[in-house]
Amino acid sequence: MMSEQQNAYLKAMGIDVWVERSPAVSAETEQQLKIEQVQPVPVTESEPAPAIEILPEAEIPETLESLNWQGLQTKVTECTLCGLAKNRSRTIFGAGTHTASLMIIGNAPNEEDEKYGEPFSAEAGKLLTAMLHAMGYQRNDVYITNLVKCSTFDNQDPSVDEVAACEAFLTRQVNLIKPDLILALGSITAQRLLKSKSTMSRLRGQLQYADGINAPIIVTYEPAYLLRSPNEKRKAWDDLQIAMRELSSINSKREVSALSNETTL
Ligand code: SF4
């Protein structure tokens, strides 16, 4: 059963919840429960764009598996493995907690993200925050990143080659976080991640698994798409509920296992 707060956030997502509302929730309280506006701190000084020399051919990065967060982020900041390096004012590595049980992956940062230094910073980011609230998470409870760490030309989808060039960075992020579940946002993210050409209708609604990624994946719509197609928010909520059930099931199994270990000691 959903909490009043989750109902309020669903309303903020634009989804009507057909359950009897508690008379105890006053209009004032409901207003307080509405989605917090994402207020990332703008960059106060414009950082000079580093001189970038694009390598003639993408080189496979040296193994990243020994790198910690700081080392990995430095590698990304210096990376010129694909042509997107020419387009960026800075790389957008990711944001959130490094011990998140839920990891969110989109396709690519945009200009707004470059301005604020975080993925999903603008209007689509506000909707993503509302979606997370509806699941019972604060934005800082999860880890959010993209397939590629540099913005694309004219906000185009990242190409297969660009995603491949950036893949090792994402894989290392996943391995460092060890999330219980990944939420893949949008068809391009899902198709590139799963190396599949299947449609959203085939990819949604069930756990998916990607080579080299040691966590189940739930596919749902991109917040930017949901802003353009609000009628699909109901389906997105269905996906989020699958994710919530899976996370709850993983937690329950973990608790049972811990209890059983205690009793055998
Ligand atoms: Fe490097 Fe990834 Fe940026 Fe391409 S998108 S230049 S692989 S960090």
Encode pLDDT of 115-153 as tens digits: 999 999 999 999 999 999 999 999 999 999 999 999 999
Q: Which residues pair with 182 in a beta bridge?
A: 103, 217
Q: Is the pLDDT of residue 53 over 90?
A: no
Average pLDDT score, the chain: 84
Rounded distance between C-alpha atoms, residue 76 and residue 64, angstroms:
11
Residues 192-209 pLDDT 10s: 999 999 999 999 999 999
33 lines ligand 1 (CB under 6 A): no
The residue assigned the tokens 């990711």 is 94
For the residues 175-184, what does the mean pLDDT come to?
97
Q: Is the pLDDT of residue 20 over 60?
A: no
pLDDT of residue 212: 87
For the residues 45-50, what does the mean pLDDT come to?
46
Distance 78 CA to ligand 1 centre (A): 9
Nearest to 155 by CA among 58, 224, 77, 230: 224
pLDDT of residue 9: 67
| Type of residue found at 14 | G
226 lines ligand 1 (CB under 6 A): no
For the residues 24-43, what does the mean pLDDT come to?
42
Rounded distance between C-alpha atoms, residue 30 and residue 248, angstroms:
27
Lowest mean pLDDT among 15-24, 191-200, 242-251: 15-24
Residues 6+ apart with CB under 8 A from 117: 40, 43, 90, 92
- For ligand 1, mutation pick of 74, 84, 105 (most atoms within 8 Å of CB): 84
pLDDT of residue 34: 43
pTM, whole model, 2 decimals?
0.81
215 lines ligand 1 (CB under 6 A): no
| Core vs surface per residue 36-54: b (16+ CB within 10 A) or e | eebebeeeeeeeeeeeeee
Rounded distance between C-alpha atoms, residue 14 and residue 1, angstroms:
19
- In the chain, the percentage of residues whose pLDDT exceeds 90 is 68
92 lines ligand 1 (CB under 6 A): no
Distance 142 CA to ligand 1 centre (A): 23
Q: What is the band of 17 on the pLDDT scale with cuts at 50, 70, 90?
A: low
pLDDT of residue 8: 67
150 lines ligand 1 (CB under 6 A): yes
Structure tokens at 254: 């973990």
